[in-house]
Structure 1
């Protein structure tokens, strides 16, 4: 009698939660921010593995501020479906607040009442109340993710650091408001009517390290003919000079013009060297790598019209190759929102 064939040994089924840590890290580091957040909620093992990794997030998201709401809508340009994500409740006074600046996931907020400013983390809901109020329009916000050290800089070169109880001036001798400012690698790049000023904030006190006359680049031509029916400040916003610092550290000056009652824009870029594989995010004063990235177009300028009008919140992309402008995204055209801004999602691993 023939003996029965040997039974195949059945190996126990593998569980995704038992992946080796080094393999799990390779998975996490290939995910964008949204997929990273989803993956770390799979199980406790994946949550633990996520703390050793960072998401592969290279392009900004958009924040939409619905009118009179205590939450925001977030749009990820990498997702072709253009999904909108709703944040948690952001506080009872959020609906009566105005966003002045962003730094990664942190927002600098001002209420419509004469009360101190506050800084809010859009994702973790952490809040820092500042000891000062604010009367300017376009400050700079910088945050250290771990220590929560912060720095706020006004256009008149007054600044506030963590531990300060009042504004301090960089120098009383420097006159002229900064028309555009960018903060990168502990340096402030400020553009006035005719000068580009660079200040180093890495020490205990800020120091001016460069001062260059760029009047030939930034001088805007006068409006001729009949007087415009719009207020003077609207004409100024339709014709702006923006300073942009690229990923490689090059400084660009971007001139924008928007004719009265027109949806067309003209841009001129003054630069030393730049890669057309990058895209300019005008709202953040920086560039992002656009090659092989979903949701962002190379050699383009992304901007929101609150930079031109300070009212409304349309989002546009200007293609420098075709000289055409396109409104983005089509999905949110039915959403009533008062403002739109760019931000770079971030989080802490602790």
Structure 2
């Protein structure tokens, strides 16, 4: 059954009532979390990495593009550039407002004629930026127990604006990330984490913006008016991203691939004793996540759970996706996904790889966990 969009969507109570034929089993028979594998031909499979076999064919999504996931809920963009969320087990589907329904005093988003892939940001001063649907990036948060839903999306180029959505809205609120009324040190978008209705943005100058959009209207900037950098520059020898613990602490996670294709991870946090006026604060390496695991694709930590096969002090990884501060140069080529499925034990510094079947041409992969 397909759910139609209405002003009160999403109604998770209604969705739950439709699930009599949906049997979600997050751990495999071996007690390991499962994977969703996205194939080049548009198919999606539920895969058991321990047993090395496909558990279930989840469907053919060749007419849509995968943007983000949270548990069994996927955020997709269809061929008409319309956003929707789907439960990949029950196939319950929730439509979302049109991309053009952005509420902002700075600009408006419009489709180019009757085209489905081209848009323009039109600023109030008359400036116009082109944007393309194949450069939309997003992050999703679904909490079925609390019946809450949040998501953010943006065009990779230009990356001056980020749009947020919360349950019950019929529009998107616009959060400026370019130089539109915000301090220069808080501009840019190197990475982000969405945890509930709280958004963490790593800026180009290594500050972390914290934004809350849980209120009835718009959003609230929680970042100090005169912040100090959260992290020191690490150079370009490694990939890095931010993560947020269950306690709300922001971590910096690096992953490096050596010449023999060996991957290693390091986790850092800001020195709590650092001088607030120090613009190159020291980092402290975190050697243990305690009884938590880090889901790096989502950028969050969760409690370990032996029943679900979630190991403590471990990093679950499928691919590195570094959000770049976009450029309007349409000639550039976006790098392909780097699929490398593994679990890294932070205490022992050992890596357990889970290669996909050799006959599969993977486009993307995600660990699938129940977060509630």
Do these two structures clear the TM 0.5 threshold for a shared fold by scoring above it? yes
Provide the C-alpha distance between the structure 2 equivalents of 1:215 and 1:180, rounded to a whole number of angstroms. Answer: 15
- Aligned-residue offset at 1:62: 1.9
Could you report, residue by residue, the CA deviation over 1:180-223 in whole angstroms, capped at 9, with x for unpaired residues? 22222421122212211111222112101234856462513156
- Aligned-residue offset at 1:168: 2.7
Task: Flag the structure with higher helix content.
Answer: 1
* Alignment partner of 1:106 is 2:73: yes
Q: Name the residue aligned to 2:6.
A: none
Provide the C-alpha distance between the structure 1 equivalents of 2:267 and 2:290, rounded to a whole number of angstroms. Answer: 15
Could you report, residue by residue, the CA deviation over 1:58-79 in whole angstroms, capped at 9, with x for unpaired residues? 9854211122144x222356xx
How many residues align structurally? Answer: 274
* Alignment partner of 1:158 is 2:163: yes
Q: Name the residue aligned to 2:364.
A: 339
Q: Which residue of 251, 261, 283 corresponds with 2:297?
A: 283
- Aligned-residue offset at 1:315: 0.3
Q: Name the residue aligned to 2:201.
A: 190
Provide the C-alpha distance between the structure 1 equivalents of 2:27 and 2:259, rounded to a whole number of angstroms. Answer: 44
Provide the C-alpha distance between the structure 2 equivalents of 1:208 and 1:344, rounded to a whole number of angstroms. Answer: 30
* Alignment partner of 1:170 is 2:140: no
User: What is the DSSP-based 3-state SS (H/G/I as helix, E as strand, rest coil) of the residue aligned with 1:221?
Assistant: coil
- Aligned-residue offset at 1:297: 3.5
Provide the C-alpha distance between the structure 1 equivalents of 2:309 and 2:145, rounded to a whole number of angstroms. Answer: 29
Q: Name the residue aligned to 2:91.
A: 125
Residues 154, 60 of structure 1: CA spacing in aligned structure 2 closer, same or farther, 3 A cutoff?
Answer: farther
Structure 1, unpaired ranges of 5+? 1-31, 39-57, 224-238
Q: Name the residue aligned to 1:230.
A: none
Provide the C-alpha distance between the structure 1 equivalents of 2:146 and 2:308, rounded to a whole number of angstroms. Answer: 33
Q: Which residue of 348, 355, 369 corresponds with 1:322?
A: 348
Report the TM-score when normalising by structure 1.
0.64
Residues 177, 65 of structure 1: CA spacing in aligned structure 2 closer, same or farther, 3 A cutoff?
Answer: same
Provide the C-alpha distance between the structure 1 equivalents of 2:74 and 2:247, rounded to a whole number of angstroms. Answer: 26
Provide the C-alpha distance between the structure 1 equivalents of 2:348 and 2:262, rounded to a whole number of angstroms. Answer: 16
Q: Name the residue aligned to 2:25.
A: 34
Report the TM-score when normalising by structure 2.
0.60
Q: Name the residue aligned to 2:39.
A: 66
Asked whether the 8 Å contact 1:59–1:288 carries over to 2, the reply is no
CA RMSD of aligned residues (A): 3.8
User: What is the DSSP-based 3-state SS (H/G/I as helix, E as strand, rest coil) of the residue aligned with 2:223?
Assistant: strand
Task: Flag the structure with higher strand content.
Answer: 2
Q: Name the residue aligned to 2:211.
A: 199
Asked whether the 8 Å contact 1:139–1:154 carries over to 2, the reply is yes
Asked whether the 8 Å contact 1:280–1:288 carries over to 2, the reply is yes
- Aligned-residue offset at 1:336: 3.3
